[in-house]
Amino acid sequence: MTKNKKIFGIIGIPNSGKTTFFNSLTGLHQHTGNWPGVTVEKKVGIMERDGLEVELVDLPGILSLSANSLDEKISRDFLLKGEADGFVLIVDALNLERGLYLISQLQELEIPLILVLNKIDKAREAEFSIDIKGLEALLNIPVFPCVATREEGIEEIKRAIFSGKFKILKKKTNYGEDFEKIIYKVEKFLEENFKGIEKGRFFALKLLEEDKEFSEKLKMEEKYPQLKELIEKEAFLFCSRFHYKDLAEFISEKRYGFASGILNEVLKDYSLKSKIHFSNQIDLVLTHKLFGIPFFIAVLYLLFSLVFYIGNPAGNFIKKIFEISGKNLETFFLSLSFPKILSSLIVNGILNGVGTVIQFLPNIFLLFFFISLLEDSGYFTRISFLFDKFMHLIGLHGKAILPMILGFGCNVPAIMGTRILEEERDRILTILIIPFLSCSARLPIYVLFAGIFFPEREGLVILSLYLFGMLLSFISARFFQKFLIKKPLSPMIMELPPYHIPSFKGALLHSWIRAKLFLKKASTVILAGVLVIWFLSSFPSGVEYGSKDSFAGKIGELISPLLKPLGFGFYQAALALLFGIVAKEVVVGTFGVLFSPNPLKEILPNYFTPLSAFSFMLISLIYIPCISTIAMIKREAGLKYALILILYTLALGWLISFIFYQTGLLFFKIAH
Amino acid sequence: MFDRENIFLPPTFENYLKAIWNLSQEGKVVRVKDLADALNLRGGTVVSGLKNLAQKGLVVHHHYGHIELTQAGKIAAMEVIQKHSVLYDFLRNGLKVDEKTAEMDACSMEHYISKETYHRLIHFLEYIKEKLSMEQLHKFLEEKVNPNTIRLSEVEDDTLVLVKSIEAPKNIKQKLMDLGILPNKLIFKEKEAPLGDPIEIICGGIHISLGKREAEKILVIKKETIKLSKAPRGNFYISFLKASSIQAKKLTDLGIVPGKIVEVLENNEGSIKLKIDGNILILDESIGSFIYLEAYHDKK
């Protein structure tokens, strides 16, 4: 039996609670991917009832149909393409005017719609009501009130979707007789001279608005010059007669006129005693000239502590479970006289590998839980407001500071966290510079080497590495902008939505979706990487795991001459760095295994001088971030950027260690 | 005017030459149809025009339809094009006229400007570009043409302004307009970020964070206002309601509509007594702090 399937799009203004609404409609029945060709997230939810399957596509938030960013373009293209059987438009009841402004443009598209008024409880709190029946009559589409955070009214909306209650908007924006004549002329000209133009009125308005994308579509046509001339002439006459700079100004003004006209008719029962100052009072503190930034640091500290102080022990606990079960399994296999190679595959390869991945899970879950709470509360946009100037120095928006700071904890969630940035350009740039921020996994290396070679000055040495990493990330940001990501920083025009109490359930759902994604996508790549290393360490058969005779050992020997000019041209260092690609903590562990039974504190000074030790710490900071990070970069930014970053970090790491070590040598020679 | 080898060409004919030149620069074989399309004229008109130009020795119209400029025609076309670019440069970069107006004015001026003025203009441009600070010149021009106009980025905190014009590129301007920042609308500059950039403004009750580079493109006029909660007794204009559209609606339904005259009768701490449309209202101080007033000058 073939099922009936329908596709509906969910559109809305940013901050209208669209995501919460989408989540309460579809719950866990959603999958996340990317829109074709770009790294903008596409969320699709599935609902089923009485043999009818409904696919809900969550579209990026839009203010209008003039697509300025990639996100907005995706939404507009989807609206125009006609793939969907209808659209659910979600509007914040407290911000109805903005919603009506969008409606004034949707009407020209003549698409089937349902209007959802979200946050209707807030409207009740603010002591006013919206005349739903009146609004339905005015617009000629069904209107449903709802409170997405509490799932109020969701069932009615579901029913309406399944029974196909979508209708086409009737009320049109009144642009006045003079302008309607112009629209008609252009529409007629399009109809007569261009083939295949649907929604002529919409197209004509877009051309009159000077929307480049639409004129670009016609540029190749034979009659385009005449069309252009017609529009320019009409626009000139109209604008000089009514004193506008361009038609877009006039059109926007009329659309706002439409919105406030309807608003006036449907607002009822308002009283003056409402709590209108709640949001402003909070903002006085959060973006205060003096306290704003300290407050952010406090919030950040709290977030950091919660993510890593709860997450790390939980992660270690998970890792322990894997280790213990690994050991038990090993003895169990031994008792069964299992082939040694097979038990090694399961224990050292798979179990170890999976453990390495899953130990990040608590961090990621917690991180996204708190991020989601903060984002929902409206504080995120304020962070952007606070730090925009500072981040401009390196060519990014203020918001990017959040994932970057998280990078000091662990690069993996930090890279996932770049999803909070709207622009693809900003996301990729941030992703590319996060790996230079010393994550907690690099700390054991610093602690080990600084402790042995720079006693009493460990703190200073470690701090210098952290600072140097930051410097590198800033320089790299500039470098990538010069050679790789040439698109300029998008303008800073951002709505600061009112604060409100975030939804706990929404945050849980959000973090669960992220955690699932992390497990599914990243683990495949990481597992493969771990298995390769296991293979290299265990073969040819019969060698001791990771010893000099194994393939890995041989590769180590092969690489070590390359490391000689950096001050550590022996196979143990090469192998430690090679294995460190799995996870940087492994570097220390590898030294431990390779030099056993000698304690590292005694044996390392035979191999390293303080100079080469610092050089080793430098390369550990810079060279290829761990497999988990690479896998995440591939997922978030694509294979191209993952490969670029591998090459860039390898080259840069080698070069900086080389320069540092060689100048150091030279310096000592002169000094002596 | 008769100095181009004593031939005066009416503007339309100069446009013919320009169009033929441009079309042939695109590597096309120019025919009557192309020319008619480019000039947006009828074929018949173009043919008679070409005849006229051919008589003057500027154009060769081959029998098989192919149109070519003669050497003299090429020179004449080049002259017009050069004049256009000089005039455009003068209008756009010298006088800082907006792009569209500069383009249109250059198109009409190119046909009538005398050789002498044209030559002097070239050197004049050379001089001002080299010797004068163009930035200062533009600032001066702007102040003279639009007195009282300043850039939104320069407005101090807690100030009401009226948007005069938005000079941003198309896509930024559209986004600003979509957020309700339109010419002749009142917006409120709330504050600067702690680091000095961006700024926060309120427009239609919505808070917007705006980079200084974007705010610089918005020209505004400052309004001298006073909050109702701080107003002394007397008459005022209601200027602005710093509230969301819904909150504003509540106030306007009480008769507190921007543009109306209000008389403050009493302003004690906590409550304000006022008269509007003959009705007496008592408002809470916190609500009064969202209503901005302008001085009312009684014309007697």
Tell me if A226 and B290 make a contact (CB, 8 A cut-off).
Answer: no
Tell me the per-residue pLDDT of A521-567, one tens digit each, with 9 for 90 and over: 556 766 777 777 778 877 787 777 777 788 888 888 888 999 999 99
Tell me if B245 and A386 make a contact (CB, 8 A cut-off).
Answer: no
Q: Is A456 left (phi over 0), alpha (psi -120 to 50) or beta?
A: left
User: Which residues sit opposite A12 in a β-bridge?
Assistant: A90
Calculate mean pLDDT across residues A110-129. 83
- CA-closest candidate to residue A594, choices A543, A553, A542: A553
> What's at A73, amino acid-wise?
K
With cut-offs at 50, 70 and 90, classify the pLDDT of residue A232: confident
User: Which of B177, B189, B282 would you mutate first to test chain A, the one with the most A CBs within 10 A?
Assistant: B177
SS3 A143: strand
Lowest-confidence pick of A104-113, A496-505, A603-612, B120-129? A496-505
Given this model, what pLDDT does residue A600 score? 80
Given this model, what pLDDT does residue A428 score? 92
B39 contacts in chain A (CB < 8 Å): none
Tell me if B178 and A495 make a contact (CB, 8 A cut-off).
Answer: no
Percent of all residues in chain B with a pLDDT value above 70, rounded to a whole number: 95
- CA-closest candidate to residue A374, choices A308, A434, A303: A303
A287 touches chain B (CB under 8 A): yes
Percent of all residues in chain A with a pLDDT value above 70, rounded to a whole number: 94
> What's at B219, amino acid-wise?
L
* Residue A69 vs residues A53, A61, A388, A391: alpha-carbon distances, Å: 32, 11, 19, 20
- CA-closest candidate to residue A247, choices A235, A230, A255: A235
Say what the pTM is: 0.74
SS3 B295: strand
Q: Which long-range contacts (CB under 8 A, 24 or more apart) does A641-649 make?
A: A641/A428, A641/A431, A641/A432, A644/A432, A644/A484, A645/A432, A645/A435, A648/A476, A649/A435, A649/A622, A649/A623, A649/A624, A649/A625
- The answer, yes or no, to whether residue B87 has pLDDT greater than 90, is yes
Tell me if A272 and B170 make a contact (CB, 8 A cut-off).
Answer: no
DSSP string, B204-253: TTEEEEE-HHHHTTEEEEEE-EEEGGG--SEEEEEEEE-S-HHHHHHHHH
Given this model, what pLDDT does residue A279 score? 57
Rounded to the nearest integer, the mean pLDDT of chain A is: 84
B235 touches chain A (CB under 8 A): no
Best mean pLDDT range from A120-129, A538-547, A573-582 = A573-582
Calculate mean pLDDT across residues A431-437. 94
Tell me the per-residue pLDDT of A193-225, one tens digit each, with 9 for 90 and over: 888 787 888 889 999 988 888 888 888 887 888
Give residues with Cβ within 8 angstroms of B248, minimum separation 6: B205, B241
- CA-closest candidate to residue B242, choices B231, B226, B263: B226
Return d(Cα A500, Cα A661) in angstroms, integer: 54
Select the residue of A253, A276, A491 nearest B182 (Cβ to Cβ). Answer: A253
Q: Which residue of B has its CA nearest to A230?
A: B40
- The answer, yes or no, to whether residue A496 has pLDDT greater than 70, is yes
- The answer, yes or no, to whether residue A478 has pLDDT greater than 70, is yes
- The answer, yes or no, to whether residue A468 has pLDDT greater than 80, is yes
B100 contacts in chain A (CB < 8 Å): 246
With cut-offs at 50, 70 and 90, classify the pLDDT of residue A613: very high
- The pairing of strands B67-69 and B149-151 is unpaired
Given this model, what pLDDT does residue A273 score? 47
Return d(Cα A573, Cα B31) in angstroms, integer: 76
> What's at A448, amino acid-wise?
L
DSSP string, A295-320: HHHHHHHHHHIIIIIIHHHHHHHHHH
CA geometry: angle at A162 spanning A160 and A166, to 5°? 50
Given this model, what pLDDT does residue B3 score? 43
Given this model, what pLDDT does residue A522 score? 58
Return d(Cα A335, Cα A322) in angstroms, integer: 20
DSSP 8-state assignment for residue A245:
S
| Number of helices followed by number of strands (H, E) in chain B | 11, 14
Given this model, what pLDDT does residue A650 score? 95
CA distance B105 to chain A (A): 13
A264 contacts in chain B (CB < 8 Å): 249
Given this model, what pLDDT does residue B5 score? 46
Among positive and negative, which fits the CA dihedral A607, A609, A610, A616? negative
Given this model, what pLDDT does residue A271 score? 54
With cut-offs at 50, 70 and 90, classify the pLDDT of residue A648: very high
Calculate mean pLDDT across residues B190-204. 89
Q: Which residues of B264-300 are buried (b: 16+ CB within 10 A; e: fewer)?
A: beebeeeebebebeeeeeebebebbbbbbbbeeeeee
Tell me the per-residue pLDDT of B258-294, one tens digit each, with 9 for 90 and over: 878 888 888 887 788 888 887 888 888 777 878 888 8
Q: Which residue of A has its CA nearest to B104?
A: A236
- The answer, yes or no, to whether residue A171 has pLDDT greater than 50, is yes
User: Which residues sit opposite B139 in a β-bridge?
Assistant: none
A388 contacts in chain B (CB < 8 Å): 193, 195, 197-198, 209, 211
SS3 A564: helix
Select the residue of A96, A260, A492 nearest B198 (Cβ to Cβ). Answer: A492
**At which residue do the structure tokens 């022996």 appear?**
A570
> What's at B297, amino acid-wise?
H
Q: Which of residues 174-213 of A touch B (CB under 8 A)?
A: 209-212
Rounded to the nearest integer, the mean pLDDT of chain B is: 84
Q: Which residue of B has its CA nearest to A130?
A: B246
B253 contacts in chain A (CB < 8 Å): 270
Say how far residue A589 (Cα) sits from the centre of its chain: 33
Calculate mean pLDDT across residues A304-321. 81
CA distance B166 to chain A (A): 9
**At which residue do the structure tokens 């918005």 appear?**
B218
CA distance B52 to chain A (A): 25
Return d(Cα B33, Cα A299) in angstroms, integer: 70
Given this model, what pLDDT does residue A592 score? 77
Best mean pLDDT range from A344-353, B178-187, B247-256 = B178-187
B170 touches chain A (CB under 8 A): yes
Which is more confidently placed, A410 or B160? B160
Tell me if A287 and B173 make a contact (CB, 8 A cut-off).
Answer: no
Percent of all residues in chain A with a pLDDT value above 90, rounded to a whole number: 22
Tell me if B177 and A252 make a contact (CB, 8 A cut-off).
Answer: yes
> What's at A117, amino acid-wise?
L
A243 touches chain B (CB under 8 A): no
Which is more confidently placed, B68 or A337? B68
- The answer, yes or no, to whether residue B28 has pLDDT greater than 90, is no
Tell me the per-residue pLDDT of A385-427, one tens digit each, with 9 for 90 and over: 888 898 888 888 888 887 888 788 778 888 988 877 878 888 9
Give residues with Cβ within 8 angstroms of A303, minimum separation 6: A370, A374
- CA-closest candidate to residue B202, choices A537, A255, A498: A498
CA distance A493 to chain B (A): 5
Cβ neighbour number for residue B124 with a 10 Å cutoff: 13
A252 contacts in chain B (CB < 8 Å): 174, 177-178, 182
ipTM attached to this prediction: 0.77
Calculate mean pLDDT across residues A168-187. 87
Return d(Cα B281, Cα B265) in angstroms, integer: 10
B173 touches chain A (CB under 8 A): yes
The H-assigned helical ranges of A518-550 are: 523-538
